[in-house]
Structure formats: C-alpha cells, structure tokens
Structure 1
Amino acid sequence: MKLPSNQIAVLAFAACMAAGPSAPVLAQGTAQESAAGQGSEHGLSAAQIVEKNEAARGGVDAWRKIQTMVWVGHVESANVAVSTLPFVLELKRPNKTRFEITALNQVAVRVYDGTNGWKLRPTRGGKPDLQAYTPDEQKFAHEEQVIDGPLIDYQAKGIAVSLDGLDEVEGNKAYRLRVKLPSGASHHVWIDARTFLDIKYDRETRSVIGQTATISVFYRNYQNVEGLQIPATIETGLGTGQPKNRLVIEKIALNPPLEDWRFAKPGTQGRNEAVSIGGASQATRETGRPAR
C-alpha cells in the first residue's frame, strides 16, 4: 500500500518547506515591490514582521550556516491502510531535494537535482516505475527555497513580501503575508502574531485529470534544534472535516555530508537507487540530533 502520487507530492513539498516554511501558488509580482507593506492594526509593516520571524526562527546568520539537512520521521495518513509510513527527507542548497517514503517494505522516491526531478515508485510486478516530474511538479521544485525558505534573506533572493492583513488561524491572531518570487509565482503564509513563527500556508495542487484544489498546510510543535526553531509536525488537508495527512519528524541532522549523486536521476551510475529507510535512518542517527 502506498500513498497516491499527488499525496506523496504534497507531503514531500510540505516537508521541504517546513525547513523554511512557505510554498508558491500562481500570481504576479516583482522583486522591487515594497516589503514594508501597509501598516497593520498593530503598527507593524511586512518588513518588521519578517524581521521578527527571522529572529524567532533562530536568526539569519544561523540559517546561513546550514548547507544540508536530513529529516527522519513517519507519515500518518487516513488515505492508506498502513497506520504509519516511514520517510527520509534530504535537503541541500541551493535547491536539491530527495524524499523517500516506505510502505510494506517498498520505497517510493522523489528526487530533484536542482534542474530536473524524477519519481521512482514500486509496482505490483516488482519492477520500479521511473517517471520525470510533471511540468507542475518541475515548476514547484524549481521555486522551492529549501533549507531556510523564502523569508530568510528574501531581498538577496529577489523576493518581495507584502502584508495582506491580520487573520485568525485556529484561534490565534496571525499576519497574512503575500510572498512573490522572481518568477512571478506568489503565495500566502501566515505568521503567528505572538510567536512570529510560520503557522500556515495554502498551496494550490492539481490532480492527474487537471482539477485544482487548495491544500492548507499547518506547522505545529516547534522544537529547538541547535538554536533553530523547526516544526516537528506538519499537517496537510483539503479543508475542514477532510482527512488529514501528518508528517511527524523524529530526528533532524544539520549539515550532514550529502553527496550530489544522492540527488541525481535514480539508477544513474548504479549508486543512487532507492535506499531502505533503515540505511538512511542509521546514517542520520550517526550525525543527527533529536528534534527536541
């Protein structure tokens, strides 16, 4: 049993963004648009909110030092019969990602080398099915700001941030920021008005038959990992009352050695086939630290 392809994509994307939460949806904008925004009812501009968010997450200088990151955990999903699905997420600057998820001793892999992406999935016949990313997946992967997200060093990345308003998210006041990437892609991210940590973003997804839907992603249970604030639980869902998927991060490794071949097309040179969760977990246990 395995998650449907679009569910794997959403979970992988949410996990990548949790290192520096946020995700793109379609819109227009330029890097020169003001990050100061309009003053909120609390008197804070977008630039001031981002500055407080950077400080709350551990500081810009600390995040700049992180070049690689590995997460080990499990997925809890109401969409499959298996109660928990182990996963390993590997991230490397500037935007390399590798996401492995295991179900019934079979491993599905999503990997992006910074330019191209591939999906390797098990089949009933036992022969792995390797496919290139769809255009939508390719676009999202290319626009990901892995490791630290779009708000850290946003000006250096050519990103514009504006304040859209003050909302209530699950009983908490939260600033709604619009983040516009150099490509013109845009999305909303909500910053808790008390802690100034990211607590939510909305992401548009497309099914294999072309239908679009908005998926809400919530960041919960922030943990201190060597001075950085990182959410230990990421929850995704299509709306109120709908089944939720939850990523639970059990271990986090900062700056472990990750060779570029880990992010190459699966099967290339016989070195980067999908690996078992046991092997990846063991490597992380040797270099990682609990996310608490």
Structure 2
Amino acid sequence: MKRLSYLVIILALTCTGISTAQAQKVDDILTSYFEITGGLSNWKNLKSMKMTGKMLQGGLEFPATMSQKYPNKFRMDIDIQGKKIIQAYDGKEGWMINPLAQITEPKVLTAEEVKEMEDNQMEDEFIDYKSKGHAVALDGEENIEGTDCFKVKLTKKSGDIEYHFFDKDNNVPIMVRTFAKTGPTEGQPVETFMSDYDAVGDFMLPFSMTTKFQGQTVMQIVVDSYDLNATLDDSVFALPK
C-alpha cells in the first residue's frame, strides 16, 4: 500500500510538471506571437482600426469596410451593386440595414442575432487573458493545409471555446476555429484563415482572411489598407435615430 501511495505521489508530481511545462510553452508561444507581429505594448495601445478592402463571395466582389473601436464596438459596411448593407454593434445594441432583405431602415437585432457580434473585441483575447477570466492551454499540434502548427485552446470566461493555430516556424497565427452560436449550424466549427501578412506601421497584419465551413470557402476578405488608431466617433456604431 505504501508503495502504491508513493507511485501515486510520483505520478501526480509528474503530471503537475507536465502541466506547468505546457503552461510555460503556451505563454512562450503567445509572447513570441506578440513580439513578431508588433510588440505587446503596441498591441495594448491599439484602440481602433478601420480596414478597407473587398469581400469575395460566390465569384463576386464587393467593396467593404470594417471598423472597430475599443472595447467591443464593431461595424461592417458592404456595397452590393450600389446597395449598402450595414451590420453594427455599439457595445450594447446591435443593428443592421439590408436592402436586399427589404430592411431599408435600421433594424435592432435580437439578443440571439447579436450573439456573434458581441465577440468582436477590439483587444486581442490573449492580452492579459488571465485577468479577463480566460484560460489558455496547448492542445498539441495540427497540420493546417500543409503548415505544422501549435494548437492553442482558448476557453473564454463565458465558456465559449476557440482553437488558435500558430505556425511552428514563427508563431504567427494562420487559422482560428470557432463554433457557430446560432441558427441551424449552431455548434459546428467555422474556420478563418489569415494570410498575406505585411507590415503596417509597427505591426505585421494579414491582408487576406478566408472563412470556411465544412471545408468550403464561404467568404474571403481582401484588405487594401488599414487605418490604425483611426478617429472613429461613437456615433459611427450607434443606432441612427
């Protein structure tokens, strides 16, 4: 019995050592990620962003802009043959205009509809993740379309889970796997691939973001320009009165 107890203690200490090593490893990955893409202090000082580019979907191309402001204000504008589609969230309330769906006046979104938009945090989720109530763990490795990656599991304070994949060669993020929160696809994985990184001021940012569902491309955003710490009034995100 004493020998068994001793073995249990040794096993427990070994597992604790592995857990500690993995925690150190994942923090090293995140530290390297921030360093190589602009530096942690620069990321912490990034309080707004405006991306201008185009959305590619179904073989068609549409001008698009996306605006974000700390902490979680978000707006997307898409021009489809002269008709402007807008989705926005001011941190409390979501709204949309979509002439293609006969929504020509601002419509307040339901709590269910706004679930996905509430996650559009301006600040990177990995910055001070512990103080935000999130948990991070290294969940092994995975090959993503030919690139060997570290697989990092992010468990948010809300309980939502995401998987972030970092290129093993340089710790640059190349894919995020999230899970749909609403509709008939609720719970199913949605993958967003980031590529075509280039310098923007002190940062290295992706100029292509491709969303896939069940292996099929649903949408691609191609960025023409970034405006970092752009002047964005709160009224940009607020429901028009």
- Output the TM-score relative to the length of structure 1: 0.70
**Runs of 4+ in structure 1 displaced over 4 angstroms?**
36-40
Are positions 1:104 and 2:104 aligned together?
no
Determine the structure 1 residue equivalent to 2:44.
Answer: 64
Determine the structure 1 residue equivalent to 2:124.
Answer: 149
CA distance in 1, matches of 2:169, 2:106: 45
CA distance in 2, matches of 1:93, 1:223: 23
If you compute each CA radius of gyration, which structure gives the higher value, 1 or 2?
2
CA distance in 2, matches of 1:173, 1:180: 22
For residues 243 and 94 of structure 1, do their structure 2 counterparts lie closer, same or farther at Cα, with a shift above 3 Å needed? closer
Per-residue CA shift, 1:180-207, capped at 9, x if unaligned? 2222222111111112111111222266
For residues 259 and 182 of structure 1, do their structure 2 counterparts lie closer, same or farther at Cα, with a shift above 3 Å needed? same
Deviation of 1:128 after TM superposition, in Å, equals 0.2
SS at match of 1:45: helix
Are positions 1:221 and 2:199 aligned together?
no
Are positions 1:121 and 2:101 aligned together?
no
CA distance in 1, matches of 2:28, 2:197: 22
- Output the TM-score relative to the length of structure 2: 0.84
CA distance in 2, matches of 1:64, 1:258: 18
Deviation of 1:39 after TM superposition, in Å, equals 4.3
Superposed counterparts of 1:202-281, under 5 Å: 202-205=177-180, 208=183, 210-212=184-186, 213-240=188-215, 242-265=216-239, 267-268=240-241
The answer (yes or no) to whether the contact 1:69–1:255 under 8 Å persists in 2 is yes
For residues 38 and 244 of structure 1, do their structure 2 counterparts lie closer, same or farther at Cα, with a shift above 3 Å needed? farther
Determine the structure 1 residue equivalent to 2:35.
Answer: 55
The answer (yes or no) to whether the contact 1:37–1:161 under 8 Å persists in 2 is no
Determine the structure 1 residue equivalent to 2:170.
Answer: 195
Stretches of structure 2 that go unaligned for 5 or more consecutive residues are: 1-15
The answer (yes or no) to whether the contact 2:95–2:109 under 8 Å persists in 1 is yes
Per-residue CA shift, 1:64-111, capped at 9, x if unaligned? 221111100001112x6xx21111111100110111001010000011
- Count residues with an aligned counterpart: 224
Per-residue CA shift, 1:153-204, capped at 9, x if unaligned? 3233232111111111111111111112222222111111112111111222
CA distance in 2, matches of 1:55, 1:124: 44
The answer (yes or no) to whether the contact 2:210–2:217 under 8 Å persists in 1 is no
Stretches of structure 1 that go unaligned for 5 or more consecutive residues are: 1-33, 269-292
The answer (yes or no) to whether the contact 2:49–2:67 under 8 Å persists in 1 is yes
The answer (yes or no) to whether the contact 1:198–1:219 under 8 Å persists in 2 is yes
CA distance in 1, matches of 2:209, 2:50: 16
